[in-house]
Amino acid sequence: MPDRFKAILITRDEDKKQSAAVTEIGNADLMDGDVTVAVEATTVNYKDGLAITGKAPIARRFPLVPGIDFAGTVISSSHADWKAGDKVVLNGWGTGETHHGAYAERSRVNGDWLVPLPDGLTPQQAMAVGTAGYTAMLSVLALEKHGLTPGSGPIVVTGAVGGVGSVAIAILAKLGYRVIASTGRVDEEGYLKDLGATEIIDRNELSGPGKPLGKERWAGGVDAVGSHTLANVLAMTSYGGAVTACGLAQGMDLPASVAPFILRGVTLIGIDSVMAPKAKRMEAWRRIATDLDIEKLEAMSSTIGFDGIFDAAELIVEGKIRGRVVVDMT
């Protein structure tokens, strides 16, 4: 294989001004690790958009190849679990933040960070799921562990048109839950109902300051928005319900009260996809392979080439991306 290959590199000048550009790097530029992977597919997540545009301090070392997840084929390995030719998936572990990530034709990583590509999924399909979909599955698993079932009542999904929201709706609907989708893009009602949502509400119902407690409207929720939206979701959760928090599209703050917790026994469950232990990752990907309708996955996904990453990064930060964006690196 050629020693030089194409990559996006984020750099910072003496005035700490960040910029990103397409360049070439070589094997010697890759970071420490015991497995080298040919990246076949990646995706553009909200965090990737923030990293490339510099609108949040996602990149924490420079220079850095961004991209927090990928799927591909092992080229070489000194790790006991992997050999050349193995198909693998990586999510998180600081890739695209402190370790060179997916936006290069090759990546060298710690073999402990990898999981097998699930049987029946191509690298491109795995990245149609990506970190957003994997996070959605972690959220569903957490709600199940709390004891919620389809008989418990509806589940609200915020940021419904985004990557986490779209996959969460599709999975929950297939499992038999009634799903309420909250979105600022009510013109996407047809898309959301095709994924399995039974009711669409405007995000304005949740995005402003609210009461400490509201009418009980749902048994649980998957929130990728944070701030007032999460506070209002909690305030309207039924007695004994649970809400997962996995995003901050509206903000990192949580202007809530203790009322839902001490008067209704509501549980707020934090979802970390970056450092989740391998056993939990394996379970999530196993369930994705069985509980996510591939036809719905394809309906919520679009595919771009490497050269489309910059435009997609801008659009996802502006909230103009629907569903998932796959980057075909082949």
Non-local CB neighbours of 160 within 8 Å, separated by 6+ positions:
166, 169, 181, 182, 183, 192, 197, 200
What are the pLDDT digits (tens) for 194-211? 999 999 999 999 999 999
C-beta of residue 218 within 8 angstroms of C-beta of residue 200: no
Task: Order the strands of the 155-157 sheet from edge to edge.
Answer: 199-202, 179-183, 155-157, 218-223, 237-245, 267-270
pLDDT of residue 80: 97
Residue 118 has pLDDT above 80, yes or no: yes
Domains contained in the chain, CATH given: 4-117+300-328 (3.90.180.10), 131-270 (3.40.50.720)
pLDDT of residue 3: 84
The mean per-residue pLDDT over the stretch 94-106 comes to 96
Task: Calculate the average pLDDT of the chain.
Answer: 95
pTM for this model (two decimals): 0.91
What are the pLDDT digits (tens) for 293-314? 999 999 999 999 999 999 999 9
Residue 316 has pLDDT above 80, yes or no: yes
Which phi-psi region, left, alpha or beta, contains residue 227 (left: φ > 0; alpha: ψ -120 to 50)?
A: left
Residue 2 has pLDDT above 80, yes or no: no
pLDDT of residue 288: 95
Residue 43 has pLDDT above 90, yes or no: yes
pLDDT of residue 1: 62
